[in-house]
Structure 1
Amino acid sequence: PLRAAEEAYPWSTQGDAETILAAHAAAIPAPTTPPGSASKGVRVGWVNRARGAAQAGGEAARHVEWVKRLDGIWGFALWDARHRELILCRDPMGVKPLMRTQTDGGTLLFASEAKAFRHHPEYSPVMDEAAMVARLAYEYPLDETTLFAGVAQVRPGTVETWRLDESGTAVLTGVARYSRDEVKPAASWDPANDAAALLDSLCESVEDRLMSDVPLGIILSGGLDSSMVAGLAHRAAKAAGKPVPECWTVTESEDHPDYRAAEDVVAALDLGHHTSTLEEDSFWKSLPSLAWHGEDLDISVLFFQPLFENMARDVKVGLCGQGADELHGGYPRYRDLPAHRDLVRGRLMSSRHPVADAILDPEPQQGALVGAGQPWRTLDLDPDTHFADLRSTLQFELDHGQLSNFQLRLVDRHSMAHGLEVRVPFLGRAHRKMAHTLPLDWRVRGSDEKLALRAAAALTDLPPEIVSRPKLSAGTATTPTLLAELLAELRPQAQEWATSHPRLERMLEKQPDMAIGLRLFESLHLVDGGLGREGKDLMTLLDDID
């Protein structure tokens, strides 16, 4: 639609990226006089910030309306030579990554992965211990933190503007929010009248994401979410007279319930199915690659590596079921929020780090690393407040990174490592908007989850046993035996490694998988400046730390 609307733009490609340039050109005319330098910025936290940058969006505010015209997933940097302005922007949900760091000398670096910064002479990777506390307590990095000191993400749904001052130093001139999802439950919902509309919104999203000039496939776990994507893709392709996408599944055993469910789905829908079984030594062989590409601590999602590697041999685009649990209330923690509150609070209380004390403080002091352009949006993160009920929990997780910093990041990092673009139909604009209005008791009711989504799924051709099948956690439930064997072997060392971080020690003692993940993270990304270590084997990496 945007391409058709901007007929006057001198299009030179068929690529989607050019629509960004067209939308920008239509909204931002050339200046009438040559632009001058930005006013000298003041170092605030991790960035040099111009006066007024934090007020009403600063100079970024003028870009909000044209960015709203974009529909898709992106992390882009646009240099406008006419205005001598750099624009950094991420898609509304943060499907695609974009992060930045500013050196002491004032140089602004930006990339999709932190490891790219290591090749700049002024950058040296250092662990952000405050961000690590939140990662261990909440199970995902919060806000715009990464696990690297000085490296912050561009916030999803946000546009930033940067200019150079007279000395050539990069200065942040504005941060403007153009999109924010809000959980606004309606008073009622009737499956007899409303389930079809919910399904239609997802169908529309799947159809949009099937558009591709390259081969496309489906990531099929056997759970409800990916099964719905497979079923709707099958229906849409048939209706359009196009080839039906085939499915890919990886398992640790053909007896695994997820694998059997995936087989049931492809049999019911007559889909092509590519399967692979993890080898017994998969964790030992492949964890270094997982940690290298992921830049995180999670070792349980090893299955992503062979899954995406296998898919990339045949297709260049994949569709997945990510986002459904966040929208529709699929995670087990939603059914027992008091236990979740106690778990997170207990982890914070066991930390000896000041950021944990600040989070648990009823009136936390907001420091220099909080606010526009900084890694933290707020330190008002008390689990007792934000996990008090389902609505506030869902909103907190949307606002503070559970989806963008964990689920979406995992899939994007490990798929793009193999040149595979993964699209997320559940996060299509129309489906998100409708899902946010679902009454809470149509998301979670007693021990049941995703009730509204299951009502919509019942209108598809999926087998009834798939529609009613309860969720299994990806990662730990996908490879339970292989992961348990690794943890049993390394548990004594994990307890020892935990002592290397006194302020994190008690958190790590109760999470041996995180202790192993942190050790691997340090070895790959911090030792020797993070350069030249990705080719080493697992035990060499785990042992090779002073």
Structure 2
Amino acid sequence: MCGISGMFDTMGLRDYDRALAARINNIQAHRGPDEDDLHLEPGLALGHRRLSVIDLATGQQPQFNADGSVGIVFNGEIYNFQELVPELKALGYLFRTRSDTEVIVHAYSAWGTACVHRLRGMFAFAIWDRRQQTLFLARDRMGVKPMHYAWLPDGTFIFGSELKVVTAHPAFVRDIDPLAVEDYFTFGYVPDPRCIYRNARKLPPAHTLLLRRGEADQPEPVPYWDVQFTNDNPIDQADAQAELRERVRESVKLRLIADVPLGAFLSGGVDSSAVVATMAGLSDTPVHTCAIGFDDPRFNESEFAQQVADRYQTDHRLEIVKSDDFDLIDTLAWLYDEPYADSSAIPTYRVCEMARKHVTVALSGDGGDESLGGYRRYRMHLGEERVRNRLPHGVRRPLFGALGQIYPKADWAPRMFRAKTTFQAMAMDSVEAYHHSMSHLRADQRERLFSSTFKRQLGGYCSLEVFRRHAHQAQTDDPLALVQYLDYKTWLVGDINTKVDRAAMAHSLEVREPLMDHKLIEWLATLPSDLKVQGGEGKAVFKKAFEPLLPHDVLYRPKMGFSVPLAKWLRGPLADRMRKTVLGDRLAQCGYFDPACLRTLVEEHSRGVRDHSTPLWMLMMFDAFLRVRENAPGA
């Protein structure tokens, strides 16, 4: 697990300054505190920051093959690397290390760019092929590991694990992309491949990018994999449960290879509990587990984590986080490089900080809800779909559109009476409705928030286009499969994986996600949707599969989530800061927002008239991003 960086002269053989290469590489030193190194030659600079996990003695990077013709910088883990070694040795390749890095080098030499099809794991890497004069970039299928890049005005292609590597180059132009601002205030993050800056991009998951020296055109990323929802597996319930347990076991076992202390997050939820139970069955020694609790009982799951820890006699560590733990705003803005509004980044940062005191590698349960239909919003969407399928669109749109306009936004009311959003969604088609439900700020809210000047800059763009683009590629008519696919492409990558990667690497902690193994994902996509959501119960087949291994209360209690009390903060200890930020000069001078709307949000929330904690938090995190941008080197 590491941080990588590099510069490639696409048109010539300029010499890159070693001090500059070192500076942009070391700005991500938190990703790899153990070692760092550079490789420079005419037209190329490669950098690496290492967090030693496998082959501590000889796994250094940048790493080259024996004749120096192929070199790599690599971030991640290849879990099947030991399986590939005998095959590559049979082809004549000699190994000087025990690292998965060298396996990628020889796999590329043997199979070229098609090597990505042979790799099972989380990865982002860049391979320099001196003979072909090419630079080959690749990112793992589920987007667990990040890759950012840009073309600079002088023809240099620059890349790095974090966006701050790219923006640290003095020639990078930090112009904000208005479309990314629209995306952020919809989703709470900037979805791939867009970045907050107009001139930067993220390499999408399951894509490669091949650059050849001397070619003036900027190549586009090429996909090499996609999940195909067939939902046609004839397997019965009992066999599906047994096979699911075995596939999870195999995925977990692959992720237990490490030469450093290894443990797991244990939140008390179904997914992390299933991972820990599986680890316990594979280990002769107690599993190291880490959990955090909150001093506010409404957000505290630690008692359920303790049940699992007691059952499997894990070496369990618990730390209690105060409910006013909001001092990380500026830290998070620097770590995430872009505006990022998921407030669960705060407890995620804390649990990673705590885990790193005891382990270097931690397994998580991330990805289970997306793959197995665990979110409440999936069940809501399926219910809405049943109504949509019974009424023609020509009837639904005027009927429910009118109801959505006149029904009050009842934030204060019990959930069953908050029908405004449902009425609005019923007037839409499936993709638009799911976009509506996934929007932190919905279209009408963004319309009020943005200034007239900024709306002109958008030129008619709407973040719905992100969902439309992915839905076009989904190749499924199954309602659950469609929204799972959309989450794979947006929420899982842009929110969940981004959150965990930055929070973990801030503490030099490697996190592995067995429920995101692409082989497991492919198999789950063959299961009928009614095995995943049954009678209003999400993750049905998963819960049934782990009934023999987990307490009933852990499996079937209401989902709590990794939340923080935002509304309370913004009316209490954060109230003054919120007011000064939202009504301050920085947000006013950027020109994106309507001043009257900002005042209304602040006043109504402060008086308790409405709960505007979501837009206010998003505005505060956007302001924090602007502040970091202003103070960054070279700004």
Tell me which interval the TM-score lies in, with the shorter structure as reference length.
0.7 to 0.9
Q: 1:236 aligns with which of 282, 301, 309?
A: 282
CA distance in 1, matches of 2:262, 2:162: 25
1:174–1:291: structure 2 CA closer, same or farther, 3 Å change rule? closer
Q: 1:470 aligns with which of 533, 554, 558?
A: 558
Partner of 1:431: 520
CA distance in 2, matches of 1:152, 1:236: 40
The aligned amino acid for 1:394 is Q
Partner of 1:370: none
CA distance in 2, matches of 1:119, 1:475: 33
1:281–1:387: structure 2 CA closer, same or farther, 3 Å change rule? farther
| Higher gyration radius (CA) | 2
- Secondary structure of 2:186 counterpart: helix
Aligned residues: 470
Q: How many angstroms does 1:522 deviate by?
A: 1.0
Partner of 1:26: 110
Partner of 2:619: 515
Q: How many angstroms does 1:27 deviate by?
A: 2.1
CA distance in 2, matches of 1:360, 1:67: 31
Q: 2:119 aligns with which of 70, 77, 90?
A: 70
1:85–1:484: structure 2 CA closer, same or farther, 3 Å change rule? farther
The aligned amino acid for 1:414 is A
CA distance in 2, matches of 1:95, 1:484: 36
Moved more, 490-499 or 171-180: 490-499
- Secondary structure of 2:122 counterpart: coil
CA distance in 1, matches of 2:571, 2:311: 33
Q: How many angstroms does 1:308 deviate by?
A: 1.2
- Secondary structure of 1:213 counterpart: coil
User: What aligned pairs does 1:12-161 form with structure 2 within 5 A after superposition?
Assistant: 12-28=96-112, 63=113, 65-161=114-210
Question: 2:436 aligned with 1:390, yes or no?
Answer: no
CA distance in 1, matches of 2:571, 2:233: 44
* TM-score, with length taken from structure 1: 0.78
CA distance in 2, matches of 1:532, 1:466: 50
Question: 2:85 aligned with 1:3, yes or no?
Answer: yes
Partner of 1:347: 442
Q: How many angstroms does 1:356 deviate by?
A: 8.2
1:229–1:402: structure 2 CA closer, same or farther, 3 Å change rule? same
User: What aligned pairs does 1:297-312 form with structure 2 within 5 A after superposition?
Assistant: 297-298=340-341, 299-312=343-356
The aligned amino acid for 1:16 is D
Task: Give CA-to-partner distance per residue, 1:164-197, whole Å, 9 cap, x none.
Answer: 228xx6x544632211112222376532221010
Preserved CA contact (<8 Å) 2:323 2:564 = no
RMSD: 3.1
Preserved CA contact (<8 Å) 1:74 1:90 = yes
Q: How many angstroms does 1:11 deviate by?
A: 1.3
1:496–1:387: structure 2 CA closer, same or farther, 3 Å change rule? farther
- Secondary structure of 2:365 counterpart: coil
Looking at both structures, which has the greater relative contact order when contacts are Cα pairs under 8 Å and sequence separation is at least 6?
1
- Secondary structure of 1:6 counterpart: helix
The aligned amino acid for 2:271 is D
Partner of 2:531: 442
CA distance in 2, matches of 1:433, 1:496: 48
CA distance in 2, matches of 1:260, 1:532: 48
Task: Give CA-to-partner distance per residue, 1:459-504, whole Å, 9 cap, x none.
Answer: 32x1121121232222337x88667745545443454256556545
Partner of 2:236: 190
Query: Structure 1: any 5+ residue segments left out of the alignment?
Result: 29-62, 365-375, 534-546
CA distance in 1, matches of 2:459, 2:191: 13
Question: 2:224 aligned with 1:178, yes or no?
Answer: yes
Task: Give CA-to-partner distance per residue, 1:24-68, whole Å, 9 cap, x none.
Answer: 11124xxxxxxxxxxxxxxxxxxxxxxxxxxxxxxxxxx2x3210
Preserved CA contact (<8 Å) 1:487 1:513 = no
Task: Give CA-to-partner distance per residue, 1:202-246, whole Å, 9 cap, x none.
Answer: 1110011011111101011111010111110111113xxxx3321
CA distance in 2, matches of 1:96, 1:473: 23
CA distance in 1, matches of 2:558, 2:590: 38
Moved more, 147-156 or 333-342: 333-342
Q: How many angstroms does 1:437 deviate by?
A: 2.0
Partner of 1:268: 311
Question: 2:358 aligned with 1:277, yes or no?
Answer: no
Partner of 2:271: 225
Task: Give CA-to-partner distance per residue, 1:353-377, whole Å, 9 cap, x none.
Answer: 365834489xx8xxxxxxxxxxx79
CA distance in 2, matches of 1:188, 1:464: 28
Q: How many angstroms does 1:153 deviate by?
A: 0.8
Preserved CA contact (<8 Å) 2:581 2:620 = yes
CA distance in 1, matches of 2:626, 2:355: 30
Q: 1:319 aligns with which of 363, 370, 376?
A: 363
CA distance in 2, matches of 1:463, 1:522: 46
- Secondary structure of 1:357 counterpart: coil
The aligned amino acid for 1:329 is G
Identity rate of aligned residues, in percent?
26
Partner of 2:543: 454
Partner of 1:335: 379
Q: How many angstroms does 1:10 deviate by?
A: 2.2
Task: Give CA-to-partner distance per residue, 1:328-368, whole Å, 9 cap, x none.
Answer: 1122221223547244577234335365834489xx8xxxx
Partner of 1:538: none
